[in-house]
Amino acid sequence: LTMENNKNEEKPLLFTLRRFHLSEDYGFLLPNPLSELPAFYGPWMEIANNLPHLIQSHQLRSRVYKMPQLSSQHLKGHRELRLAHLALSFITMGFVWQEGEVETVKLLPQNLAVPYWEISQMLGLPPILVHADFVLANWKKKNLNGNLDTIFSLPGGESLRGFILVTFLVEKAAAPGLKAVVQAGNAILQPDKEALHKALQEMAKAIKEMTDALKRITISYCLAFLLRWKDNPAMPGGLIYEGVSDEPMSYSGGSAAQSTVLHAFDELLTIRHSKESTAFLHRMRDYMPPHHRAFIEEIQSAPSLKQHILSSGNEKLRIAYNQCVSVLADLRTYHVAIVTKFIVIPSHWAGNFQINPPSSLQERGTGGSGILNFLKSVRDTTRAGIIQG
């Protein structure tokens, strides 16, 4: 009996999406997010649903100061917590940046900071607007035809809405690729050459579809609201979360580098970025939901796909692997083109306030990286992953 048990323990567990609360259809997106909280949280929702008007009329800060301090203990289940984090993240961003870079605040009032902190702790997310809020949980079906809309917005109207929803489509296009990551991991353990070849073809197809989705993007002025209070000259001291800590805290803003998708592909394909880029990307993992982080760690701890292909000497697998690396480099090349056009060249910026892009965004990007150098570097190190014949 003991021997039998040992045999079972040695058999590797099958890698599944479900184990990480991921959906075959939606990937890292939150499937069917809630757009309403219980009536008790009406004061939050009333402000969050009216942010563009409150920010443009310079009334948001005074509304937040009058907001009652609500306990987070009436929130039930993961989706209510995600909606509450989304709402308070949007309110916080609007509150801090209502007057642009000229008049930022140093303190987030207790009635907002305390529940925001509590909800963040429960979710394992930081108390700032992250990709997991802004894109992954900020969508709803507008009507029975399946037309999409955002749950919350900021000044920037249709262009901001378009930016969020196109990024949603990129994440959705990645879903079959994540399923292929899992299939590839299991095919290495089997080992099953045919299944592995098929998984790599599926993955390349998904990455190509992500690039096609990305081609629909226009970047809104309101990326200013994704700014951070870490390494930001407009907020040198960070932000004090009143009632949580007397010391200011610093966090990076929402960034595509917080999307788990490319981290997962990089890990499976054993793409090695420069020391500086790797440090930044690893820091961005702290801004992901814990089960998304765990998914990356699972891929990291699994047998190496690249090693498996090199030692198999299988030409068909090498070609399929190289195709994945090649389309991933193409996706990153397109990302460089978008950022050059919409963020680095200020003449492309125009918004409701008719101002230049925030200085820290031009130079550093919303997550705080030297944006163009970083994107070009990760594109080049991706391309270097090709296995030569």
Residues that constitute the known binding site for heme b: 335
Give residues with Cβ within 8 angstroms of 66, minimum separation 6.
none
Tokens matching residue 24: 């075959």
Tokens matching residue 155: 């000044």
Nearest CA among 353, 125, 150, 106 for reference residue 247: 106
Q: What own/partner pairs with CB < 8 Å and gap ≥ 24 does 93-98 have?
A: 93/128, 93/129, 93/154, 93/225, 93/226, 94/51, 94/54, 94/55, 94/60, 94/154, 94/225, 95/60, 95/61, 95/64, 96/229, 96/235, 96/239, 97/224, 97/225, 97/227, 98/55, 98/58, 98/60, 98/61
> Tokens 């008049």, residue?
103
The DSSP 8-state label assigned to residue 67 in this structure reads S
What is the Cα–Cα distance from 136 to 91, expressed in whole angstroms? 17
Beta-bridged to residue 140, according to DSSP, are 149
Nearest CA among 61, 34, 35, 33 for reference residue 47: 61
> Which residue positions form the known binding site?
335
Tokens matching residue 99: 């007057």
The H or E element spanning position 163 is helix 157-189
Nearest CA among 174, 71, 59 for reference residue 114: 71
Beta-bridged to residue 240, according to DSSP, are 107
Beta-bridged to residue 141, according to DSSP, are 148
User: How many alpha carbons fall within 13 Å on the CB side of residue 139?
Assistant: 24
